[in-house]
Amino acid sequence: QVQLQQSGPAVVKASQTLSLTCDISGDSVSSNSATWNWIRQSPSRGLEWLGRTYYRRSKLYNDYGISVRGRISINPDTSKNQFSLHLNSVTPEDTAVYYCARELFGSDFDYWGQGTLVTVSS
């Protein structure tokens, strides 16, 4: 059974960097059959895909959503079997519930983290 466990601060000050981590159990961040995603949800923006990280034949790939491109990085850590989100220069508009999720090849976002409400304080 795959489980994704999120951790990170609930409050971030404006202009600083939002950082969250997603611990994976039951699968591997270096799997060739999955991508590892960050998605957020707010009343004003709905569900918004932020980006993903994944390996194919030992090569690392990243894709980022257009709304956060340039401010985001998603990094896998194979030694800890986790992946992290870093979103810099945050504003109150970045206040949202953040989810990590696995996208399984041949399926879709089949496992999600529990969600973390992150509030950006001005």
Partner 1 sequence: QSVVTQPPSASGTPGQRVTISCSGSSSNIGGNYVHWFQQFPGTAPKLLIYKNNHRPSGVPDRFSASKSGTSASLAISGLRSEDEADYYCAAWDDSLSGRVFGGGTKLTVL
* Interacting residue ranges for partner 1, rule: CB under 8 A: 37, 46-49, 51, 63-66, 99, 101, 106-110, 112-115
Q: What angle do CA 68, 28, 71 make, to 5 degrees?
A: 10
Select 55 or 98, whichever has its Cβ closest to partner 1.
98
Select 16 or 48, whichever has its Cβ closest to partner 1.
48
- Burial bucket for residue 62 (CB in 10 Å: 0-12, 13-18, 19+): middle
Q: How far is the CB of 37 from partner 1 (least distance, A)?
A: 8
Select 15 or 107, whichever has its Cβ closest to partner 1.
107
Select 7 or 114, whichever has its Cβ closest to partner 1.
114
Query: Residue with structure tokens 């039951």?
Result: 26
Q: How far is the CB of 40 from partner 1 (least distance, A)?
A: 11
Phi, psi of 91 (to 5 degrees): -130, 170
Strands 116-121 and 11-13: parallel
